[in-house]
Amino acid sequence: MGLLLAKNKITSKSIQADFYKKYYNKIFCSEDTSNFSFTDIAYKITHIKLEKKIPNKKSESLILEIGAGQGEHLKFVKHSYREYIMVDKYKPDNFRFKNRKVRYIESDIKKCKFPKNNFDRIIITCVLHHLDDPFLVLSKIRDWLKPGGTISIFLPCDPGFAVRLNRFLFVNRKAKKVGFSKYNLLNALEHKNHVWGIEIILFEIYESYKIRRTFYPFLFRSNNLNLFSIWQITKKID
């Protein structure tokens, strides 16, 4: 198998790049109504929930989105902002946002350098499972946030039972339908951290912050029975 992969020049990076550039939108946020499915509905709901009850919204906010993809989340942001900075390892070939307020940085978040107390809001969408060192990255993010600012996190409950069931019943089928047959392999390569460990890290790093966490689709706290949780973490003003 190793020789076969080497011969065909298939690597973990090539699988990931291929997925995000060609298939991610088709699977989770398709604009083709004939190909619309439960995965599109669920994905849209996560973006809507991430924008609910955001503390301390400012009309002149400086926003950082980590793991921005092709800018799928931006259209759900209802409050105004001075500048919206997107960071992702894979910049889309045809970036569709020409707004002068939107800037895209193609980079690993670990390599990014921003001033301390710089951002009014930081958005993290389905990123923490993928990081080699989530403690390091979340510590950097903590320093970048202004007093009174908020970190908004969409955290899938992976590898909880409901997430695995949803993947089996819906996501895998949609992925194969649009031509991507390696979705299970992709998750094995990318989802390096489990939700229970990420939660412990978040509570440790942001111990002195105000944390509001909400589970969906059920409101009771269970990573096995829910699909995701939304975190709004606010830095206190001294």
Q: What are the tens digits of pLDDT across the range 61-92?
A: 899 999 998 888 998 998 889 999 999 988 77
Rg (CA), the chain: 18
Asked whether residue 104 is assigned to any structural domain, the reply reads: no
- CATH code, domain carrying 24: 3.40.50.150
Give, to the nearest 10 degrees, the angle between helix 134-144 and helix 195-205: 40
Asked whether residue 158 is assigned to any structural domain, the reply reads: yes
Report the distance separating Cα 39 and Cα 63, nearest Å. 27
Strands 145-156 and 102-106: unpaired
Asked whether residue 200 is assigned to any structural domain, the reply reads: yes
Could you give the number of structural domains in the chain?
1
pLDDT at residue 126 in the model: 87
Asked whether residue 101 is assigned to any structural domain, the reply reads: no
Asked whether residue 2 is assigned to any structural domain, the reply reads: no
**Amino acid identity, position 211:** I
* Average confidence (pLDDT) over 6-22: 77
Report the distance separating Cα 153 and Cα 185, nearest Å. 25
Question: pLDDT: is 137 or 56 the higher one?
Answer: 137
Q: How many CA atoms lie within 13 A of 136 on its CB side?
A: 8
pLDDT at residue 123 in the model: 97
127 near 112, Cβ under 8 Å?
no
The structure tokens 């080699």 sit at: 132
- Cβ neighbours around 17 below 10 Å, total: 13
Which domain, by its residues, includes 177? 12-95+118-234
pLDDT at residue 5 in the model: 46
Percentage of the chain beyond pLDDT 90 is 66
pLDDT at residue 13 in the model: 83
Q: What is the sign, positive or negative, of the torsion defined by CA atoms of 192, 144, 66, 80?
A: positive
Asked whether residue 180 is assigned to any structural domain, the reply reads: yes
* Average confidence (pLDDT) over 171-199: 93
pLDDT, one tens digit per residue, over 42-61 is: 888 999 999 988 876 766 78
Asked whether residue 113 is assigned to any structural domain, the reply reads: no
Report the distance separating Cα 16 and Cα 189, nearest Å. 9
Question: pLDDT: is 98 or 127 the higher one?
Answer: 127
Predicted confidence (pLDDT) at residue 16 exceeds the cutoff of 90: no
Predicted confidence (pLDDT) at residue 6 exceeds the cutoff of 70: no
**φ, ψ of residue 96 in degrees (nearest 5):** -90, -10
